Amino acid sequence: MRRSYGAPLCAAICFALLGVETVISFSIVPQLHTHGRIAAHRPMVFGRSRHAPRTCAKVGPTMEVTSDYVAKPKPVLDSVNFPSDMKKLSMAELKQLAYELRWEVIESVSKTGGHLSSSLGVTELTVALHYVFNAPEDRIVWDVAHQCYPHKMLTGRRSRFSTLRQWGGLSGFTKRKESEFDCFGAGHSSTSISAALGMSVAKDLTGKPVNNCIAVIGDGAITGGMAYEAMNCAGYLNQRMIVILNENGQVSLPTGTPSAAGVVPAGALSGSTSRILSSRPFQDARSVAKTLTKLLPEDLQKITRKIDEFGRGFVSGEEGAVLFEELGFYYLGPIDGHDLENLIPILENLRDSESKKPVLLHVKTEKGYGYLPALKASDKMHGVAQFDIATGKQKKPKSGPPSYTSVFADTLVELARQDPTVCGITAAMPGGTGLDKFGKIFPKRTFDVGIAEQHAVTFAAGMAVDGLKPFCAIYSTFLQRGYDQVIHDCIIQSLPVRFMVDRAGLVGNDGPTHHGCFDLAYLGTLPNIVIMAPADEIELMRMVKTAHAIDDKPSVVRYPRGNGFGAEGLNKLFGYNLKSTPLPSEVSALPVGEGRMIRRADPEAKTKVAILSLGTRLCEAVRALRMIQQEGNGIGVTIADARYMKPLDKELIRSLVEEHDVLITVEEGAVGGFGDHVNHFLTNEGLLDSGKCRLRVMVLPDQFVEAGGQKQQYDFAGLQAKHIAATAFRALDRQGEALEVLAAAPAVGMGKPSVA
């Protein structure tokens, strides 16, 4: 006979609300088990706990590493090539597997670089998921997926980890083309719940007998509005799915929002009650109780619902449960995400449940778990270059010229010192965009809005309405997520938001999801906007100041990942006469829409080629000049820096066409960008009608460029000096010389792995 304990539970809650400490025994639920054995009966205390405080000490052991590190033997991991190999492992063997898997991640990433601490934090969770569920039939969707290294190692890709994030190697994120176990690709955040929900609906509509779709999302990614849109829809549809909220106390990159450091793991109370809540009897009892309350008067229904909410709050120990319940989810947790003896039976109960209601399982983990150098690091060693396992010290290249990101940050600081209306906005990327440096000096004028690019753009527009000068610093690939807001809230209203578009062009080892290929195309179609692209770090300083001065419309400065050239490089490439790189305070703004000449062709040359570059391909254009303009071949080369895509310097372009036999445009963007705007202008003005000048447009290829070194990616894309020179020769019908210049400059070798 099935026994109900809904009434005792409600009574205990009512006593607790009155301040009476009450003990309830749940030994009436014999179905509860942990991995094949009956769960130990523990009483539960409402009002306050006799067994554990609401917050507990840090979880789990830390792996100590000696300076004479030797790779650890991994007998259990060696026996697992695919998740099917895990199914017969005992609990002790599963724990050993997690231990060995964590060390395999550490050893592999120490050689290649990559995202370390996020993978270390979900090792046990990954083992539990693949032990309990039957991927790839059961769908496991990793949000962002920078934490997917343990998942990849358990799904047939361990032997390829030496190629991680390198040309022709494993992606640093989940990728559908790479494995059937990667059911959904990622790289951007907050997409997993929508994707898993879609898969769940598809399984139902196509009559699949088993429907287990799991979304694993972190406490950073769940701040993205899309995650809540998906949960709202899942609750509305009452669609079976599991969302695992991985709370690690620090989102993928440090944000400006104060948060408690470390992890507050779940204690015995939370672990045992989550098992109870996820068991069939408790779910069935709750469902029956709610059905019966529909027969009661409305006022009594409200009371019983409120009692139920209080009961869930006391049992889970988390006030946040009510939020997820209001969205239509059944909330469980929080539980210790490093405790396999808790995780596995809870996931088994969820797997075997016949309920159609969506479930949110709240787990708490620690980034960098088990590796002391990561735990001690301020960023938990989130993204690392190659490193020494014993110390965690990263093997970074010798310091050189400053990065474009730091040049932007220094210039913004200098502007803010002079102008109190200057503000900086970022969407959970203060370190990546340089606004962490700005925030240390001007904390009250620094706004990290979380993973919310749409909000960031409109928030900046609102600032501009009332007289502030917002600089919205967002990666090119992430600005795609706020495109409608750029148009609707900034462009149409002529609000002077300054968009600092970092990581423009190809970014290296993070690959297709992080390349900034499309901003010139998607922003260039818009009227009433100024778009700039610096060729070097001095030009970047000047363009940031130019954007500051533009007060009647939005403006964009796009710049790449990587370092500038330094004084010596600038002198050599572009004819500067510098003793040192100037400070931001020593440069001035630019005239809007005015390009510049870098080199002029010999007026006596029989044939003349003009190369018009936008952005940092200018250095490759200068190098191409030396390949094209050789003694005795009669070719003179002009190099010009467009500086602006909107507005175009039409007089400069007109003069280049009128005075040269070939005009080549070069940019670090996809088709539809700068070169197409130049072509549109020349065609409409009839400047190509005579056939005297031939136009060639060089852009990124019409395909996604895979992960690798930046130089290798640009070599593949055909945007190096040799490709520019070969394009010039082919335009002059000198095919032999085109082949010679390509043959003389071999393909770029494998780029060294790094982190974007």
- CA 562 to the chain's CA centroid: 18
- Count CB atoms within 10 A of the CB of residue 159: 9
CA distance 197 to 211: 11
CA distance 82 to 210: 20
Which region holds residue 618: left if phi is over 0, alpha if psi is between -120 and 50, else beta? alpha
Strands of the sheet containing 662-667, edge to edge, are: 596-599, 635-641, 607-614, 662-667, 694-698
CA distance 60 to 528: 56
Structure tokens, 714: 């640009």
Q: Are 538 and 559 in contact (CB under 8 A)?
A: no
Structure tokens, 104: 């395999």
- Containing 500, the helix (H) or strand (E) segment is strand 498-504
DSSP 709: -
- Containing 522, the helix (H) or strand (E) segment is helix 519-524
Tell me which residue has tokens 């939370």.
270
Paired with 364 in beta bridges are: 247, 336
Rg (CA), the chain: 30
CA distance 697 to 657: 14
Sequence-separated (6 or more) residues with CB below 8 Å from residue 413? 437, 438, 441, 442, 584
Indicate the SS3 state at residue 322: helix
Residues taking part in catalysis: 367, 453, 481
CA distance 518 to 452: 20
- Count CB atoms within 10 A of the CB of residue 160: 14
CA distance 638 to 652: 12
Q: How many Cα atoms occupy the beta-carbon half-sphere of 423 within 13 Å?
A: 23
- Count CB atoms within 10 A of the CB of residue 92: 10
Please give the sequence-ordered ranges of beta strands (E in DSSP) within 355-406, or none if there are none.
359-364, 383-384
Structure tokens, 439: 């925030």
CA distances from 125 to 100, 138, 148, 347, 368 (A): 14, 16, 11, 10, 14
Paired with 667 in beta bridges are: 614
Sequence-separated (6 or more) residues with CB below 8 Å from residue 536? 564, 565, 570, 573, 574, 616, 618, 619
> What are the start-end ranges of the H helices in 339-497?
340-352, 372-376, 404-418, 430-433, 435-441, 453-465, 476-479, 483-485
- CA 629 to the chain's CA centroid: 43
Q: Give one DSSP letter per residue of 639-704, joined into a string.
A: EEE--EEES--HHHHHHHHHH-SEEEEEESS-TTSHHHHHHHHHHHTTTTTTSSSEEEEE---SSP
- Going by C-alpha positions, the residue among 627, 629, 635 that lies closest to residue 721 is 627
- Going by C-alpha positions, the residue among 627, 628, 698, 622 that lies closest to residue 665 is 698
DSSP 318: -
**Amino acid at residue number 738:** A
Structure tokens, 32: 């509860």
Tell me which residue has tokens 């054995």.
37
- Containing 106, the helix (H) or strand (E) segment is helix 91-112
Q: Are 605 and 586 in contact (CB under 8 A)?
A: no
